[in-house]
Structures are given as structure tokens and as C-alpha cells.
Amino acid sequence: MSDEDTSGGADFGFRRVPRHEKAPLVRAIFDSVSGRYDLMNDLMSAGIHRWWKSEMVVSLKPRPGQRLLDVAGGTGDIALRALPRLAQGGTADGGAVVCDVSESMLAIGRARALDQGILKGIEWVCADAERLPVADCSVDFYTIGFGLRNVTRIDAALAEARRVLKPGGRFMCLEFTPEIAPPLQPLYDLYSFQFVPLLGQVVTGDRDAYAYLVESIRRFPRQSELVEMIAGAGLDQVKFRNLTGGVAALHSAWRL
């Protein structure tokens, strides 16, 4: 299901809002939970999200001297995993750019990098996925993890992904899926709609933020639908791989 329709509205969880209101609402959510965002990810997934992100980086096969743009990169989980491969051997050109609409999330990421002694090779940019302040054909990799369902116009974000990728560049999207293996669906729904918002209330004090998270997953395109959208943006060799019974999926494509 696309986030666009002829009325100019956008999905914000199960609600429809005027399109111009979605980005500020999403930004407010992530500003609200930024201090406990990583902890909530660990608790919600029992740490499995770490394996998913590691699988994403392994699949990318980054090499020294290449450049990664991680959109909706938040606290830098994906970029910081890839950075040692990109900057290996002290090459001057390689590195990562983390882009996110929430300055609060980026601040957490910057602090984490400093705590790890990472002083160079990574940039932190506050910007929208639909309007990236990045030059055409300038990055080797475009990644977006658990962020595509939060943009106002998925097609616009995908078009930006193609624009910034170099010919031969790799696109990769890690995202929750709206449906999983049928035998697990009732339990998954119970966990999602009852447990996750309650956990969000206890850990972050913001139940609504995690109710939105669950609802936004259900509004997101199915795996095969997202394949069509990625191909429609002009990216090639699109495929996906389900992770953990289809709870998440890893979509990949190339700019030829």
C-alpha cells in the first residue's frame, strides 16, 4: 500500500493525516524516545535486530574507500557496523554518512561514536529521506533500516536513493513486514498490539510512539509490493530475503 492517495493524505499508523503533517509527527516521536530507543530495540526483539543489521552489512560487502549513506540512520547502528570495513587501512575516501530527521537521535549516535573513539570517517546529517542534501551519483551504498515506512512518500524516497547512488551502487532496505508465517500471526498480533505499546510506556514513557510503530508496520507494503516499488524507482535486480520467519525482510537492488 502506497503512502500516497489523491486526497493528499498520508498514513500515520492507522490514522490519515494531511501529508505535510506526517514528517513533523514522525520527528516528534523519535525525539521523544531517542534516549531509550536502542534499549527498546533490544527489549522488543530480544536482541535479534542486531543480527539483522549485521546480516545487512555482511550482504553489502563494503570495501575500503567506498562510501555509505545510511538514511533514517538514527543512532548509527548500521553505519558504525560498516565503518571498519569502509575505512580499513586508513583510506581517505571511505566512510559513512548518517542521515536522519531527528537531531536528538543523531546526537545519541554522535555520542556513541565518540565513546568508541571514532573521530573521523563518519558524518551526521539532519535531513529528510525525500530531500537528501547529497550530490547525484556520489555514494556506493544506500541503506535504510526500519525507516522507509516512516517517510511520507515512499516513491519519493526511493527516487532519491537512485539519484544519489553511483552507477553500480547498491541499495538495501531492512524493514519489518506486515504479515508473517500464518501459524505465528495470532501470537505476533497479540505481542505487537498489546505487549509492545505497554513496554514502550514502561521504558520510554511514550505508549503512543510504540502503538504508532506497530500500526506503521501493518500499513507497510508486503515484500512483493515493495519489490515493485523499488523497481518502479529505476533500480534493478531487485530481490528480498525474509528474516526470522518473515518478521523482517531485507530488500536489495542495484543502480545499473
Considering the domain boundaries, does residue 3 fall inside one? no
Read off the amino acid at residue 227: V
In a domain, 220, yes or no: yes
pLDDT band at 183 (very low <50, low <70, confident <90, very high): confident
Alpha-carbon distances, residue 169 vs 148, 194, 235, 254 (angstroms): 19, 41, 10, 6
**Is residue 156 included in any domain, yes or no?**
yes
Q: How many domains does the chain have?
A: 1
- On whether residue 14 sits in a domain, the answer given is yes
- Select from 238, 244, 245 the least CA-distant residue to 224: 238
C-alpha cell at 179: 504479515
pLDDT number for residue 3: 44
- For 92-112, the pLDDT digits (tens) are 578 999 999 999 999 999 999
Alpha carbons 180 and 177: distance in angstroms, whole number: 7
Contact predicate 228/64, CB 8 Å: no
**Degrees to nearest 5, angle at CA 192 with 186 and 196:** 150
76 and 5 Cβ atoms separated by less than 8 Å: no
Does 1 fall in a domain?
A: no
Is residue 143, in this structure, part of any structural domain at all? yes
pLDDT tens column, 115-160: 999 989 999 999 999 999 999 999 999 999 999 999 999 999 999 9
The DSSP secondary-structure symbol of 109 reads H
Evaluate whether residue 4 is within a structural domain: no
Q: What is the Cα gyration radius of the chain?
A: 17
Structural domain includes residue 190: yes
- In whole angstroms, give the CA distance from residue 103 to residue 34: 9
Tell me the CATH number at 79. 3.40.50.150
pLDDT at 76 over 60: yes
pLDDT tens per residue across span 13-64: 999 999 999 999 999 999 999 999 999 999 999 999 999 999 999 999 999 9
Distance of CA 158 to the CA centre of its chain: 12
Report d(CA 99, CA 160) in Å as an integer.
13
pLDDT value at 188 more than 70: yes
Q: Alpha carbon of 103 to those of 62, 69, 127, 150, 153: distances in Å?
A: 27, 17, 9, 16, 21
Q: Which domain holds residue 39?
A: 9-254
Q: Give the whole-angstrom CA distance, residue 181 versus residue 160.
A: 32
Closest CA relative to residue 136, chosen from 179, 177, 165, 96 = 165
Q: How many CB atoms lie within 10 A of CB 115?
A: 8
- DSSP strand E in 27-178: where? 67-71, 95-100, 122-126, 139-145, 165-176
pTM: 0.93
